[in-house]
Amino acid sequence: MSVRVAQTWFKRFQSGNFDVTDKRRSGRPIMDKIDAIFEKVEQDQHIRILAHLKKTGYTKKLDIWVPHELTERNLMNRVLICDSILRRNETEPFLKKLITGYEKWITYDKNVRKRSGSI
């Protein structure tokens, strides 16, 4: 939990509000595949949620489930961004400075410092 989240909860409790339920949020709930989900669960009550969501075309990204299919606009945005990164790398080779590991990206920049003066 971040410090900011802890401060928010502290202020809420300090004001006497001990309700920990989420408030209603704007936006439309996803209802288009509810019937398909109920049918699958009725057919096999031991179905795993992850397997079912993958079968219905959803993938898990950043701890939320999103449709796997990309729109034409999404694909074009990805191509433009990749093209921009490659063009930038031609003028300023920053990709050589990246070190990748398991789910981590680290930028390596070897700074050579000059001595400003001797004492």
Contacts of the segment 101-107: beta carbons below 8 A, 24+ positions apart: none
Which helix (H) or strand (E) segment is 58 a member of? strand 58-61
Are residues 74 and 41 part of one domain?
no
Closest CA to 57 of 74, 44, 70: 70
- Is the residue at 3 inside a domain? no
Query: DSSP alpha helices (H): ranges in the chain?
Result: 3-14, 34-43, 49-55, 72-91
Closest CA to 86 of 4, 19, 78: 78
Residue 45 belongs to what domain range? 31-68
- Is the residue at 1 inside a domain? no
- Is the residue at 51 inside a domain? yes
| Per-residue model confidence as pLDDT tens for the chain (119 residues) | 889 988 988 898 899 888 887 777 766 666 667 777 777 777 776 667 767 677 777 666 666 656 667 789 988 999 999 999 999 989 988 887 777 776 666 666 677 666 666 55
Contact 47, 40 (CB under 8 A): yes
DSSP 69: P
Q: What predicted TM-score, i.e. pTM, was given to this entire model?
A: 0.32
The amino acid present at 26, given as its one-letter code, is: S
